[in-house]
Structure 1
């Protein structure tokens, strides 16, 4: 199809998620660059919302996918047949995690992994109540929306899961609301969609302590922050807080759809008894996705991308602060290569994003705070690409100002 036919088909036959999609016609993508149908290169500062942590089409990931294509695709519903790529990836993840996180349940996406974690928590604890945080985003299925912290996206779909309460980030006194009726508390160690909100040191430890006191399970949603994004392999490592359940996705699949929730073997056993097959998925841990995920995990480790996220992120923050300083930019929030640029108004942010896209930068504002521009580039992005991005953003902001 030519470009006109593609654009027409996109708007006519693909369900839309907003009234103003980017609508770039993608020709190809490699590393940190997305090329459009006109042959123009765009620097990707979102990595497909954190998916392309190892870059688009990393050679090692592509090779592993091609190798798996020569062996088999889907052969049976998840959990019934032993497939090498699933076993190898689960072992690889477990080797990087505390001993209490040694059982991996693969899913198709992050929101499905959240659903599994919530379901496991309620069954294992025999309690109904769940707690989450204001500003949180955990996905768009009904259970995930139920623990989402923005009423704007929650209210239109009520009634949702009953008996869900919300806490305020950094309010230690508010943790008293967690009692022995609570099955689980779910939290993002960095709230990305809320505007890259980073908890104060010690808050997550206090949350861990309260959950332990009440027998409530602690779920860390690291769909965005996991696998090197925040400067450590997992964000919980910074606070030395170990959750009872860990949720991963996005970067986990190396560019293919893959999610997971991880717990202890004893805890996970709740899902396969009373009744058996109490939680199943057809395509979770698809062999192609698992193969890509295994290669991506090896790349993250071998190329030390978590460490690079911290050093490159710090330099990028420094350059952005220097080049964009002025009344329009209030502050820059950062954890690793996850940054939030807080602008002085939503209107300014939207205008800035428009001008940045004209500069051929792929970026956008956060879902729950339209004053915040979020940046989450591939962890393999080069220093030259980060410098060029900062210069393009400087030009874009000059036009907005």
Structure 2
């Protein structure tokens, strides 16, 4: 609002803003909107992105037509699906980049959050908040090995930042090893561990001390350790995704993660597992660390941690490591991390995962999904390079970016949402809710087969 406005003009502008707000709130209140309201919402959304959010999203989103006259604007969701504002239903195989492990608007998670909201939304910051303590205890019980102390965040990149700072305080070493194709977030510390040059170059120089080695190449990892030790730059920590998500759903070679664990032990180096995408049952175990029988020193969680209802994240670390923060717990803090609503959501989410045995279900359904996708791709080897995955974390890699885009666009037009990965755009991901039914899986597979037959190599 301009400071040059007259009092009368400012009063009139405030009135217009209030009327607009009331209209928006009245639409939020509705369970269903009519055709005219849907058209207004669509226009306001497209115009708002163009004028006030970022017009770049309009060229990126597959849901927006080239002339901008139509856009699929999401409005409601439930289970493994969501609906656009016009009522068209989509099977969600992107899953908000893996946040909907317990499904869209899981009733137990929603209830926990609304119950907490009725009593208290946020905490005072000065008194002890009970749900944070209770959630930390639950995490100590379910995370691998002797991981014990938790720090709560709002997102994956914040979890990585916390892990990196904790590792630095633990040993006062400043060298970190990450891997090619890694994605750890886009804040400056996390971005230093992320691999894709396009995300890194505009912000160079990043945090000093980071080195990248090829993912899965243990010999190169070992040589890098040896060189760092020889020049007096001992490694503080290795940060790895047990299965690379944004890198294109890349599985580690057999024995690789155990070898890295042993190497870290040999050099007194911490091992950080970034399980922001692989955690909370996605790969067939509660954590991918369990899948490979490796216990990290610090584990990073987010995405599905909040049950697809609240933004929430955490790190959990061994006591020996975490006690670096005991003398002064204010060395690293966040206003909203571990707030009561987020903790309620995370507690309910873990409850659903355990009670409904969703990690194991993800393994079984994922095995079926993977097998049927490979079957559907037979005869299209000129288009599909490889289909790979673990649990309900599946990647379909094509020979060219253009094929991947046409397949994902064709599936979207037929009511299936998939998307490429950020580091490897030739690969589209399949990361549905772990609650997805076999009937919905079969619909995805048949649609994939149909679209694949129409796309040119």
TM-score normalised by the chain length of structure 2: 0.84
The whole-number CA distance in structure 2 between the counterparts of 1:16 and 1:112 is: 26
Residue 123 of structure 2 is matched in structure 1 by 75
- Counterpart for residue 115 of structure 1: 161
Post-superposition CA distance 1:344-399 (Å, at most 9, x none): 21111111111111111111111111111111100001111111111111222122
Instruction: Please give the alpha-carbon distance, in whole angstroms, between the structure 1 residues aligned to 2:377 and 2:338.
Output: 43
The runs of at least 4 consecutive aligned structure 1 residues that moved more than 4 Å come to none
Is the 2:277–2:303 contact (alpha carbons within 8 Å) kept by the matching residues of 1? yes
**Alignment length, in residue pairs?**
398
SS at match of 1:149: coil
Counterparts in 2 of 1:334-345, with a 5 A limit?
Answer: 334-345=389-400
User: What residue in structure 1 maps to residue 69 of structure 2?
Assistant: none
Counterpart position of 1:323 = 376
SS at 2:332's partner residue? coil
Alignment partners' CA distance in 1, 2:253 and 2:114? 44
Deviation at 1:27, TM superposition (A): 1.6
1:158-237 aligned within 5 A: 158-176=204-222, 177-178=224-225, 179-180=228-229, 181-237=234-290
Shift of 1:343: 1.0
Gaps of 5+ in 1: none
Match of 1:141 among 187, 208, 219: 187
Structure 2 residue 311 is the aligned partner of structure 1 residue 257: yes
Partner in structure 1 of residue 455 of structure 2: 400
For structure 2, the residue ranges without an aligned partner over 5 or more in a row are 1-23, 25-39, 64-71
Corresponding residue for residue 321 of structure 2: 267
Pick one of 292, 300, 312 that aligns with 2:365: 312
Give me the whole-angstrom Cα distance separating, in 1, the residues matched to 2:49 and 2:73: 10
SS at match of 2:236: strand
* Contact 1:76–1:282 (CA under 8 A) maintained in structure 2: no
Query: Cα offset for 1:59?
Result: 0.8
Contact 2:272 2:300 in 1 (8 A): yes
Q: Contact 2:123 / 2:339 at 8 angstroms: preserved in 1?
A: no
1:126 is the counterpart of 2:172: yes
Alignment correspondent of 2:141: 95
* Deviation at residue 17 of structure 1 after TM alignment: 6.2
When structure 1 is superposed on structure 2, of 381-390 and 163-172 the one drifting more is: 163-172
Q: What is the CA-CA distance between 1:33 and the residue it aligns to?
A: 0.8
Find the residue that maps to 1:368 and give its secondary structure: coil
Corresponding residue of 1:6: 45
1:290 aligned partner: 343
Name 2:33's counterpart in structure 1: none
Aligned to 1:380: 435
Change (3 A) 1:260 1:16: farther
Is the Cα–Cα contact under 8 Å of residues 359 and 396 in structure 1 kept in the other structure?
no
The 3-state SS of whatever aligns with 1:140 is coil
**What secondary structure, in the 3-state scheme, does the structure 1 residue paired with 2:169 have?**
helix
RMSD value over aligned CA atoms? 1.5
Maintained 8 Å contact 1:132/1:164: yes
The whole-number CA distance in structure 2 between the counterparts of 1:222 and 1:352 is 28
Question: Quick check: which one's helix share is greater?
Answer: 2
Q: Distance in 2 between matches of 1:200 and 1:99?
A: 22
Q: Which moved more, 1:320-329 or 1:106-115?
A: 320-329
1:312-360 CA-to-partner distances (Å, cap 9, x unmatched) read 0011111111122222112211111000001121111111111111111
1:272–1:278 contact (8 Å) kept in structure 2: no
Q: Per the alignment, do residues 276 and 360 of structure 1 end up closer, same or farther by CA in structure 2, a change over 3 Å counting? A: closer
* 2:79 alignment counterpart: 31
Tell me the distance in 2 between the aligned counterparts of 1:206 and 1:113: 25
Q: Report the alpha carbon displacement of residue 123 of structure 1 after superposing the two structures with TM.
A: 1.1
